[in-house]
Structure 1
């Protein structure tokens, strides 16, 4: 139990510092985090499914500004995947836990590594004004350790304390309540799509949305099939727009 909790926390900590040391390889995304946690529990496919569901929920969320209050999706996906795979419950339960756990992790962040990082930044600024490069370097590495250690600690404690509690609650909660949670959680990916559409929807893209709906609702096409058709349409539209731009450029040169 402790070793699995430790490994889940280690994954969360490493993924959390992705954009601070590795150049943002996107390993902090729920799809990757869920899959890695799935390997720890010997079920990478289920982990990938949970991560993909979490990805659908969170892909419409955009953080604007330094303190946007976005849910902590990296730690949330690690904890949710660990809870669900450790207890053997269905993947539907993971989405019901996603937002509460992510929001709680965000709150912990505002109380720990975020204010500490601000203090380190201010200290590094003063060191830069004094020309003290050694202190600047120390602050840099302490900030990196800060963004690894506290998320690691949050997930480790969450797994050690929360996982047994979660397993107990799943056993004592009546079946009709858990069934209701599963039904409600199936609506959350649609919420993620709705949030994304608020950012990207326009009259030009509307036909493609309804084409995808027809493929799924009336023709029974799978998500993979719709994705392939969407990729083909994207290539056709891209090539068509490039051809039109080249014709306009030629006309301008003739004038």
Structure 2
């Protein structure tokens, strides 16, 4: 039997998704994009999963689109125009599903994360990288500017840094990626899984409904002007304050005891 392209393991309220095409450096093939879309769709309604970890099997996180598939698409009478339009639309849909998920998504990055693979990291809510990880939007090296990866990248790192990466195709090391804000922290390779799991467990221990409403508000307010953002988030906090579990959480803090949350 052929192993699934996307593996899922659940433990302690954490769903770990593993891109499982190591022989292709976990490229975002048509099948891989479909598997991610299907799993993200399931996670939208999954109340048991509080946090998601996304990682890659083998020696890399993700090398971007499957170039052999893309070249094969050129054989159509329109030289691939319809296929390419559909491919980039499907990829964009998958990337936008990540911030829309109720669960925080943490990328666990080792090896390379290039082109759409770097886009995948940038689309996640948080990211940890091993010291040997490298990041690049290197399509320009083969004559294809990484225009769709640019959307997520330019929302993570300063504009000039993003533009340099996009126009030079140069790889940046994990330390530089952290300095730019693409990843949260860099750890030793042998500690990557443990540190990622520890971060996921910390987030999973919080009131799930509060994290869910907060994640949604986070992405909503960053697209707003300052005054509108404050108005919107104030309304979110009012709703949050009226919850039974929030009242219990505040009372527990004041009483110096562990909260007895109904959702637990």
The two structures have a TM-score, normalised by structure 2, of 0.29
More strand by share: 2
Taking CA–CA contacts closer than 8 Å with sequence separation of 6 or more, which of the two structures ends up with the larger relative contact order?
A: 1
